[in-house]
Amino acid sequence: MTDLTFTVEPGGALRGRLRVPGDKSISHRAIMLGALAEGMTAVTGFLEGEDCLATLRVFHAMGVRIDGPDQGRVTVHGVGLHGLRAPTGTLDMGNSGTSMRLMSGLLAGQAFDTVLSGDASLNRRPMRRVTEPLALMGARIEATESGTAPLRMHGGQRLTGIDYSLPVASAQVKSCLLLAGLYAAGVTRITEPAPTRDHTERMLAGFGYPLAREGDRIVAIAGGGRLAGTEIDVPADISSAAFFLVGASIAPGSDLLLEHVGVNPTRTGVLDILRLMGADIEVLNRRLAGGEPVADLRVRHAPLHGVRIPEDLVPLAIDEFPALFIAAACAKGITVLTGAEELRVKESDRIQVMADGLTALGIAAGPTTDGIVIQGGVLSGGTVDSHGDHRIAMSFAMAALRSRDPLSIRDCANVNTSFPDFMTLARAAGLNLMAREAA
């Protein structure tokens, strides 16, 4: 596999206006629910990154006609809840944990057998969090001894709804069980320990499938309904915008407008945390796009200070913490994160990998079991290893805006999983970034 190294010259500022790619979470779900719907679903703003393309290919393999993607436009010709066909081989999820976990629920109720696998990183990630509750519903799934993929799904099982309390706040597990609930007899009722992103619930409603909600932590779905094809406008991904929100906040002279960003309240923890740190972020032109709230975000440089991050914001910013750690490294004082053990089982152990990288750049960063303590300071420049984690690679690229010397980031090829145009947009905004391939 080709190794990609980012090299970033120090200094600079981020200015202008840009639109980051479409939301990854919503793009995944648009393909999945569109495939299970009756009739056509037209998607605009689809993220053409490797993770979402893996989801698209999986449905191709199960007999769903999908036109595109073409400049973010995709047309899904739905086959109905029971119209999928058995694939001829293993379904390859690539690096996408969302695909693996959500597809587990969707496939648990099919009439045919399937095998789900992914790349080396994905096949190390924990899957018992979905296989165990699915088994309670009647699914038959075989995993490795350590509870990881490949997952062998046995078709023809009769699923029954359950009342399940999630042990850890996870939108992926919640969504997995909701998708299994489409095929289950009776009601599947899920209770969360804390609110998580609700894209699946919003999108099910958009496809005309009824849900029952009790407050912001309980959702229930009854099996036996139908999904009707619809139109979906995917907003720009706030997780991708986060790198630029942090970059502009830390770099003197920055003034950047990020357009049409999804601001679903279950995803805006990054805005709340940055504002607690003193960031200058304006939310402009709030509106709805396909049932999802969007806005334009204007961010200007501001001096940041360390904070103790409230634990109730952790699930609302779980994917943005690598970027937030860079903000903490450039802030005055100490930033403390707790309650974020979920970061240890992402594409990498994001707590340890970020701590190692920050330490290599001269920042005091002490990992803990469920978080990190970062003392703001001066970034020295040097070389860090992203361990193939796209969010870590892009976060350290932004760190160069405040480093003394050039910064090299190894193992960056997986940036294409979520943000294939990152280098182009970052350079257009003012980041002095180059990439070098080595066989």
Residues marked active site are found at 319
- DSSP letters spanning 61-81: HTT-EEEEEETTEEEEEEE-T
Taking 3-state DSSP, the helix, strand and coil percentages for the chain, each rounded to the nearest 5, stand at: 35, 30, 40
Within a 13 Å sphere around the CA of 44, how many CA atoms are in the beta-carbon half?
5
CA–CA distance, 271 with 277 (Å, rounded to integer): 10
DSSP secondary structure code for residue 323 in this structure? H
The span from the CA of 10 to the CA of 431, in Å, is 9
Contact 246, 290 (CB under 8 A): no
The residue among 390, 252, 401, 246 whose CA lies nearest residue 324 is 246
| Residue that has been written with the tokens 């943005």 in this structure | 320
Distance CA 426, CA 18 (A): 9
Q: Which residues pair with 281 in a beta bridge?
A: 299
The 3-state secondary structure of 194-254, one letter per residue: CCCCCHHHHHHHHCCCCCEEECCCEEEEECCCCCECCEEECCECHHHHHHHHHHHHHCCCC
Tokens of 253: 């002279």
Peptide bond before 150: cis, by omega within 30 degrees of 0? Answer: yes
Residues 419 and 1: beta-carbon distance below 8 Å? no
Using CA atoms, how far residue 407 sits from 7, 247, 336, in Å, is 6, 15, 25
* Residues in a beta bridge with 18: 258
